[in-house]
Amino acid sequence: MSSRSMFLRILWKLLGASRGRLAVALIALTSGAAVCSALLNVNLDAERKLTQEFRTLGANVVIAPPAGGSEAALADAAAIDRIAALHLSRVVATAPYFYVAANSGSQPVILAGTWFDQVAKMNSWWKLQGSWVTSRDDRQHCLVGVTAARQLGLSPGSSVQLRSGDRNISLTVAGIVTTGGAEDNQILTDLDSAQSLAGLSGRVSLIQLSVSGTPSEIEEVTRALANNLPGLDVRPVRQIAAAEGTILGRIQGMIFWTILLILVLSMLGVLASMAALAMERRRDVGLMKALGGTVPRIMRLFLAEAGTLGALGGVLGFLIGVVLARWIGERIFGVVISARFEVLPITVALTIGVALAGAIPLRLLGRVRPAEILRGE
């Protein structure tokens, strides 16, 4: 029988013996690996999930004419086409706005023309009474801010007449929106209707964009837009970008320290089991030495045993961690965290490292003297 076959046979026997101690060590390793696997899966998906959640909180990049510009600070609507021509994959939604001061009867009101399909993508948190205007080309319906609706006595289904100078339009209220922002005091309609009422076709007041990514990636998109839109002021909404960076940094820091703590606790569990196991195996080691076994070979045998436990615990922990990550994702983000199989080798490597570190007490077996064991001491 070859030395390798003999090594594997003895290793198998060792794994079959002292099952209680080894089971405790395996449970500690599997538990630690499960938590680490879950947190690593969450960490890899956290950035994508959080940026998706932030994209529902409104625009984070605004394009507007420079302050103090002429022609009532309006921009050419052709800028929208130039933005689309850049094919920026991180731009989730693009909503132009055109504002015009109008009157409903004797009441002044601001009419905001926009693209409703794009506004819906970046403001899904708006509260709506009634129905949403689904088409950007719907020139018959409008949404009314809750404050403006109260002042004008409007409700879903009402008709509202708007006048600006010698031009006027008639709109039907599709819904009442509560936004917590300036839109609560406005009437929102399609872009063409607002431009026609003002007699300024092809002009916009500003363009709002929802851009996904980290703060640095948002800044990169902002620079690309600024370079391709000369004469316009392109700026990120820094409060939102800073909030994203802060939350992501805190989550990643928390995950790092949690993983480190779990690994230390797992190592302590393995350490306790291996210390007890070392005392049980003094006789076995004494016999191995008496039969000619060297300390390095004996230690390789026990370290192989610990490494095998670590690998097994890592694989089992990864599978349990995938389930745990899904549960965390559903509870925190309301979505399913995808299984990231690149986490498997990381989890297994960490668990093997913990198992080998926890096997330090087995080094004490190298001090066992065969003569004392054979004498029964």
Average pLDDT of the chain is: 79
**Per-residue confidence (pLDDT) for residue 41, from 0 to 100:** 82
User: Which amino acid makes up residue 175?
Assistant: G
**Per-residue confidence (pLDDT) for residue 70, from 0 to 100:** 47
Closest to 144 measured CA to CA, from 136, 115, 132 = 132
**Per-residue confidence (pLDDT) for residue 9, from 0 to 100:** 64
- Are the C-beta atoms of residues 35 and 314 closer than 8 Å to each other? no
Residues in the chain: 377
Closest to 144 measured CA to CA, from 118, 179, 120, 168 = 179
DSSP string, 47-92: HHHHHHHHGGG--SEEEEPPTT-SGGG-EETHHHHHHHHT--TTEE
**Per-residue confidence (pLDDT) for residue 323, from 0 to 100:** 87
Q: Which residue has the higher pLDDT, 272 or 79?
A: 79
pLDDT digits (tens, 9 = 90+) for 302-326: 777 778 888 888 899 899 988 888 8
**Per-residue confidence (pLDDT) for residue 153, from 0 to 100:** 92
Q: Which residue has the higher pLDDT, 243 or 264?
A: 264
C-alpha to C-alpha distances, 196 to 64, 203, 219, 260, 268, nearest whole angstrom: 20, 10, 35, 62, 74
Q: Name residues whose C-beta falls within 8 Å of residue 30's C-beta, 6 or more positions apart in sequence.
A: 313, 316, 317, 320
The C-alpha angle 235, 239, 241, rounded to 5 degrees, equals 70
Q: Which residue has the higher pLDDT, 339 or 365?
A: 339
Closest to 46 measured CA to CA, from 261, 251, 321 = 251
**Per-residue confidence (pLDDT) for residue 71, from 0 to 100:** 47
Please state whether beta strands 141-145 and 167-178 pair in parallel, antiparallel, or not at all (unpaired): parallel
Say how far apart CA 115 and CA 108 lie, in whole Å.
23
- Are the C-beta atoms of residues 171 and 177 closer than 8 Å to each other? no
- Reply yes or no on whether the pLDDT at 335 is more than 50: yes
**Per-residue confidence (pLDDT) for residue 281, from 0 to 100:** 64
Helix (H, G, I), strand (E, B) or coil at 275: helix
- Are the C-beta atoms of residues 65 and 348 closer than 8 Å to each other? no
